[in-house]
Amino acid sequence: MQLNDTHEPALTSWVPSANAAGTDFPIQNLPFCVFRPRASNQAYRAGVAIGDQIVDMAALGNAFDDAGDATRAAAQLARQDTLNALMRAGPQAWSALRLALSRLLRSDAPPRPGILVPQSNAEFAVPAQIGDYTDFYTSIYHATAVGKLFRPDQPLLPNYKWVPIGYHGRSSTIGISGDRFHRPLGQVRGPADTEPRLAPSVRLDYEMEVGIFIGGGNVQGEAIPVADAEQHIFGLCLLNDWSARDLQAWEYQPLGPFLSKNFATTISPWIVTLEALAPYRSAWTRDAADPQPLPYLDYPALRDTGGFDVALEVLIETNTMRRESQSPARLSLSNFRHSYWSVAQLLAHHTVNGCAMRAGDLLGSGTQSGPDAVEAGSLLELTAGGKAPLTLPNGEQRVFIEDGDRIVMRGWASAPGRPRIGFGEVSGTVLPAR
């Protein structure tokens, strides 16, 4: 992904909040969402974040009349109630629209306050119609830590370093940040139980992940080459893959997760494009002692720029914290650059057998844990499988998620001399079981 004038660090906007230090949404970001004014009956439509405002794509009017045909066509696609059509249009359309939006919002352009809606006055929808959802397992640190809990003699299974491991999830239960859902029920069997029973999960967990939205798809039977894979990726979001560990322990053999994963997945409203993240790419490394990628998973740019330097933070807000007006407490801080498999490798592997991908399909990266214990992306790791409770700053303890807990995840990319590019946040609250 080449840098262009949308990445210029000195750019500022006529939207004042976009120029504030530490904002997630400077003019160099411009992530997409689907929204409408809060508590209205208006149709959902696409929007673009700038500072604490949203550019209402349906309100642009004649703003792009002097732009090229590709820009006008892309802007028209972005006025729909999902982003699928824009995603399908491909990287040239995405780049043309991003450049036009950047020029429209720069300080030297005439202000157009009529195209803005405050984010505080917006409600969001899942930004695309997600036909299929696949969750991967790309953090070797997470895989090893979890493996040690269940297989101390062989924490990492032999296929992990050869093949990106994944399973097919449930798109119908993907919700947007602010989601509130009931604690799931399922079959559980504890160490002292002679047979399973139906019960609410008591080992409810989160998983800090990155979501990957597919742009243009492929024809069934034709694989997407790994070197071309990023041309088929619209952008990244934050993803919380809620997990019922007690249900998972009983059901996962021999076919993997089922009810322990399909009850809720929550994503952030903002999709940050790969073009916006171009200055924040990182080297992808593989230990020399490990198997190197098979040829269909190797490509020229992999080792220099295959990764993304994106910090990933998890926080918790309990009922007590809300009642006493305390800020959420940090649980962990990791980084997407630790991923064992690259984003391009996930898509290439997904299609190498001829699997057809469609615009709006979603991939989950799997839990993003780092090499240090404080970088663990789940409570399962942070509490050593529930054996070491966490003590929060206010003195409360947690082993797994309790009713009323709100989990908040944030992500951002930063580099010396460049503005912070943020993902906003994804949050979800657990309600008592029905």
| Catalytic site positions | 142
- Locus of tokens 């407490």: 329
> Taking CA 413 as the corner, what is the angle to CA 346 and CA 316, rounded to the nearest 5 degrees?
90
Count of C-beta atoms within a 10 Å radius of residue 141: 22
The Cα–Cα gap between 310 and 326 comes to 27
Q: How far apart are CA 366 and CA 208, in angstroms?
A: 8
Contact 48/55 with Cβ under 8 angstroms?
Answer: yes
CA–CA separation, 172 vs 390, rounded Å?
Answer: 33
Contact 369, 381 (CB under 8 A): yes
Q: Report the b/e string of 279-301 with b at 16+ CB within 10 A.
A: bbbbebebeeeeeebeeebebee
Q: What angle do CA 367, 372, 373 make, to 5 degrees?
A: 75
Tell me the C-alpha distance between 23 and 52, whole Å: 8
**333/315 Cα distance (integer angstroms):** 9
